[in-house]
Amino acid sequence: MAFRPALYIVKIMQVTIIAVGKIKEKFLQEAIAEYEKRLRPYMKLHILEIPEERRPVSATASVETRAMEKEGERIVAAIPTGSFVIALDVQGAGRSSEEFATAFRQWELAGKSHICFLVGGDLGFAPAVLARSDKQFSLSRMTFTHPIARFLLLEQIYRALRINHGEPYHK
Amino acid sequence: MAFRPALYIVKIMQVTIIAVGKIKEKFLQEAIAEYEKRLRPYMKLHILEIPEERRPVSATASVETRAMEKEGERIVAAIPTGSFVIALDVQGAGRSSEEFATAFRQWELAGKSHICFLVGGDLGFAPAVLARSDKQFSLSRMTFTHPIARFLLLEQIYRALRINHGEPYHK
């Protein structure tokens, strides 16, 4: 019996995270670095940090709105062409980790090979950013700081991939 | 007009967190230590670690159930007398951070001066633990590792107290 080599064209998934603001806490920098390392075998991961718009602590609502819009313009400009865009928003739909894993698998099967997650800053997203996104998704009904949200997003992506690859992962 | 000093009896709140298993990741140990420090001015905080029940990686369902029950007995034995007991469970009710802050305020006003949170291990809670708890509460529809859940709980308690004291805190 002749040996017939099978040819698999595996397109490695790309994930871009566009996040507003820097991570100041050392423990969160380390947490994020750890999950970047864990995700490396599964995907091409890029994290793009967008500078936070500077404003006085006691800025008026209109100054804050303008700052949010400026951040929004920078976010939209950074979105990679052809990517499937998911904004992390507390108002978005909540999902269990298993549902998130299933969604990830479905995006892959639908040929969405580049997923772009948006993590806003303290001000949240300008309407233009939400309008540019394909989905809005909430990590929790609770509000977390944006550095914590970035960490949790990476952890849930990692969990989703472990679930989809049938690999064990602690609850 | 005579000066009449007002006498306020301020009862400092006690919070006990009973958690199954150790925190292995250094960044989470640091994250938890940071929030313990931030919470110290607001409350007497105790974290009691309950040892995880050892079992083989490929334990049968009945071995796992027995391990869960043993952990449950240890948890129940550690609950401080007279405390108001809240089990963190993914099946519990989700709350926004503002609702959680309001609940905290209401417990204080109702004289519940000692709140005891339970954070389960990989196996979750035995029915006896859920039966012993006054409330079940979910951080998110997503599943987090129990060390991450412990960190998020502390962060949300801190956020709740900042909200209730009218102090600023980043979204």
| Token pair belonging to B67 | 């391990």
> What's the gap in Å between the CA of A69 and the closest CA on chain B?
17
**What secondary structure does DSSP assign to B143-161, as a single string?**
---HHHHHHHHHHHHHHHH
What is the per-residue pLDDT for A58? 82
Percent above pLDDT 90 for chain A: 72
pLDDT band at B2 (very low <50, low <70, confident <90, very high): low
Between A12 and A113, whose confidence is greater? A113
**What secondary structure does DSSP assign to A87-134, as a single string?**
EEEEEEEE--HHHHHHHHHHHHHTT--EEEEEE--TT---HHHHHH-S
> What's the gap in Å between the CA of B9 and the closest CA on chain A?
32
What is the per-residue pLDDT for A6? 59
The DSSP letter of residue B16 is E
Contact B18, B116 (CB under 8 A): yes
**How much is the average pLDDT of B33-42?**
94
Interface of chain A toward chain B, CB-CB under 8 angstroms: 25-28, 30-31, 34, 90, 94-97, 100, 122-124, 139-146, 148, 152, 155-156, 159, 170-171
For residue range B118-158, list pLDDT tens digits in order.
Answer: 999 888 999 999 999 999 999 999 999 999 999 999 999 99
What is the per-residue pLDDT for A2? 62
Percent above pLDDT 70 for chain B: 92
- Give the type of residue at A125: F
What is the per-residue pLDDT for A8? 56
pLDDT of A163 higher than 60 = yes
**How much is the average pLDDT of B22-40?**
95
**What is the three-state SS of B62-85?**
HHHHHHHHHHHHHHHHHCCCCCEE
For residue range B151-161, list pLDDT tens digits in order.
Answer: 999 999 999 99
Task: List CB contacts of B97: < 8 A, sequence separation 6 or more.
Answer: A142, A143, B156, B159, B160, B163
Cross-strand pairs, A94: A138
List the domains of chain B with CATH numbers: 16-138 (3.40.1280.10)
What is the per-residue pLDDT for A171? 47
pLDDT, chain A, mean? 90
pLDDT band at A56 (very low <50, low <70, confident <90, very high): confident
What is the per-residue pLDDT for B171? 47
- Give the type of residue at A21: G
| Token pair belonging to B59 | 């334990």
What is the per-residue pLDDT for A20? 95
Q: Is the dihedral of CA B144, B115, B22, B25 positive or negative?
A: positive
**How much is the average pLDDT of B21-25?**
94
The residue in chain B having the minimum alpha-carbon distance to the alpha carbon of residue A33 is B27
Whole-model pTM: value is 0.89
Contact A120, A146 (CB under 8 A): yes
Cα(B123)–Cα(B20) distance, rounded to whole angstroms?
10
